[in-house]
Amino acid sequence: GIQVEQSPPDLILQEGANSTLRCNFSDSVNNLQWFHQNPWGQLINLFYIPSGTKQNGRLSATTVATERYSLLYISSSQTTDSGVYFCAVVPIKAAGNKLTFGGGTRVLVKP
């Protein structure tokens, strides 16, 4: 099956810092989502971005489908940005909407 690798696995930031999270995937996809999982376990949709660039406030994401990677940018980080960030994909060859998740990047933003 498709492999999804996220880096770095852990990230510690000072409040106000910027950061970039990366997601590499091993096959062509037609669905890529970024999620933030808060400390209570809720998975919050950040972006649906199988290709191109999107921005939402302090967050933005870019997916280069031809090179099989996606980047999530966090600017001016806040303590509420702490949690785990997951990238999840559906390969083009898949039957149905089976999301495969990467291992996640655990982010801690210190005040």
Partner 1 sequence: DTEVTQTPKHLVMGMTNKKSLKCEQHMGHRAMYWYKQKAKKPPELMFVYSYEKLSINESVPSRFSPECPNSSLLNLHLHALQPEDSALYLCASSHPRETSTDTQYFGPGTRLTVL
Q: Write down the least CB distance from residue 104 to partner 1, Å.
A: 6
The total number of residues shown for the chain amounts to: 111
Distance CA 109, CA 87 (A): 19
Q: Write down the least CB distance from residue 109 to partner 1, Å.
A: 19
Give the other-Cβ count within 10 Å of 21's Cβ. 22
Closer CB to partner 1, residue 42 or residue 76?
A: 42
Q: Which residues are near partner 1 by CB under 8 A?
A: 30-31, 33, 35, 40-45, 48, 50, 86, 88, 90, 92, 94-99, 101-104
Q: Write down the least CB distance from residue 29 to partner 1, Å.
A: 9
Half-sphere exposure of 53 (CA within 13 A, CB side): 2
Closer CB to partner 1, residue 18 or residue 92?
A: 92
Q: Using an 8 Å Cβ cutoff, are 46 and 35 in contact? A: yes
